[in-house]
Amino acid sequence: MGERTILITGASDGLGRLVARRLSIAGATVILHGRDRGKLGEVAKDIERESPNARLLIAVADLSSLAQVRRLAADIHESADRLDVLVNNAGVAGLVDRQLSADGYELHFAVNYLAGFLLTSLLLPLVQRSAPARIVNVSSKGQHQIDFTDVMLERDYDQLRAYRQSKLAQILFTFELHERLRRRGDARITINAIHPATLMDTKLVKALWGAPLTSIEDGAEAVLRLIDSAAVAGTSGRYFEGFSEATALPQAYNREDRFRLWQLSEELVKC
Ligand SMILES: NC(=O)c1ccc[n+]([C@@H]2O[C@H](COP(=O)([O-])OP(=O)(O)OC[C@H]3O[C@@H](n4cnc5c(N)ncnc54)[C@H](OP(=O)(O)O)[C@@H]3O)[C@@H](O)[C@H]2O)c1
């Protein structure tokens, strides 16, 4: 781990926080991303109490603003000379009423998917310079088909559908970026999506479902495997549920829809 630099979005709470802690203790340089500097400072203090030599960087950005995503990427280009692993983990759920991002997009779609799409694109040159490198998209087993006639869910908004649509979008993006990298002969970056564990004990689950079924440790182990295990070193363009490769909704395997989402995303991030 010693030479590796790892960015975890949404490291201020839940799964991201635990994964960051584990990686720091193992000796990686960890970039803790969150939207609240105070909360990130507390996370850093906790890690440093346990591991006084931890190498931590703090990066603040609200992912509901594409301008802040761009600034986050610029900050990372400035402060890190390498990026061995990018973990797109930050996520929101449980928005009973339809809400819009700073750029006017449905908030689950904007935070859970579009921010990661833009951040990954902007950081890709740094990831490429650090290869072999890995990208891990923390998605979910809870998925909903994307209706391209109503991506922003202006008709019939439903919080579960909004969350699930954003999680499937992450998987389409994972498969599409994998193919694009391979087409240009770049096999040194792997990209995979994962459902970490079902209903872990986090505030996201409390907001959406109430009672948890699993611990954060369960999900963290599965995500850490994709980040670090030699067993998946060359594995790319896959979707996992915990430790097992799994099948996502059929739309994820539809090339036309993946291309369509990519094109739409490029348009949406231009704003
Ligand atoms: N929990 C589960 O059972 C489960 C199952 C499947 C998938 N997942 C996925 O796991 C990931 C982590 O979720 P979690 O359960 O650990 O939830 P969590 O405890 O609520 O953590 C979510 C993280 O995302 C950050 N975040 C949310 N909105 C943000 C925004 N606009 N800008 C920047 N950061 C933002 C949060 O920051 P704050 O600390 O400031 O709120 C927090 O650090 C999510 O992608 C989720 O979809 C979770």
Quick: pLDDT tens for 5-17: 999 999 999 999 9
Tens digits of residue pLDDT in 28-57: 999 999 999 999 999 999 999 999 999 999
Instruction: Measure 77 CA to ligand 1 centroid, in angstroms.
Output: 24
* Selection from 95, 133, 129 nearest residue 112 by Cα: 95
Q: Quote the CA–CA distance of 209 and 225 in Å, as a whole number.
A: 27
Closest ligand 1 atom to 16 CA:
16
> Catalytic positions, please?
163
Please report the sign of the dihedral spanned by the C-alpha atoms of residue 91, residue 95, residue 101, residue 107: positive
63 backbone dihedrals φ, ψ, rounded to 5°: -75, 0
Closest ligand 1 atom to 138 CA:
45
Contact 200, 15 (CB under 8 A): yes
**Residues shown for the chain:** 271
Instruction: Measure 167 CA to ligand 1 centroid, in angstroms.
Output: 12
Instruction: Measure 250 CA to ligand 1 centroid, in angstroms.
Output: 25
Closest ligand 1 atom to 10 CA:
43
Tens digits of residue pLDDT in 245-266: 999 999 999 999 999 999 999 9
Which whole-number Å values give the CA distances from 91 to 25, 37, 77, 99, in the listed order?
Answer: 24, 17, 23, 14
Taking CA atoms only, the protein residue closest to ligand 1 atom 44 is: 91
Which whole-number Å values give the CA distances from 45 to 50, 67, 137, 215, 234, in the listed order?
Answer: 9, 28, 26, 23, 35
